[in-house]
Amino acid sequence: MSIIKNNQAAKTTITRDMSDLDREVGNVYETVVVLGKRADQISTQIKEELGSKLEEFATSTENLEEIYENREQIEISKYYERLPKPSALAIQELLEGKVHIRRPEEGDATAAQEGPAA
């Protein structure tokens, strides 16, 4: 499933109301961390998707004429360049309630830091 299909994310920079963004998380700083991690995931997914589409065009011997004549490859690249930034996609997902946040429980985090019991 492509992350970029049917998205309503802004393609340009817009001003956001922080109270809308931190409503689900409850903390502005934690919201920024969550959005950053989700943007990294989206960026990785887009890079993998683009790489798999461009693999079709990979040849062992490319000459200069083949590079300039491959219109389909150029159109694919232009499409991905025009997409909203991963951070805008992450913000849109958060606003739509599509981001799921997992928090380790306090007891589990303490036990993991202390190590196994002797």
Nearest to 57 by CA among 43, 44, 76: 76
In this predicted model, which residue has the larger pLDDT, 84 or 54? Answer: 84
73: which residues sit within 8 A by CB, 6+ positions away?
54, 57
5: which residues sit within 8 A by CB, 6+ positions away?
none
The confidence score (pLDDT) of residue 86 equals 92
Mean pLDDT of all residues in 70-89: 87
At 8, list the tokens: 């309503």
Mean pLDDT of all residues in 12-24: 82
3: which residues sit within 8 A by CB, 6+ positions away?
42, 45, 46, 89
Is the distance from CB of 31 to CB of 22 less than 8 angstroms? yes
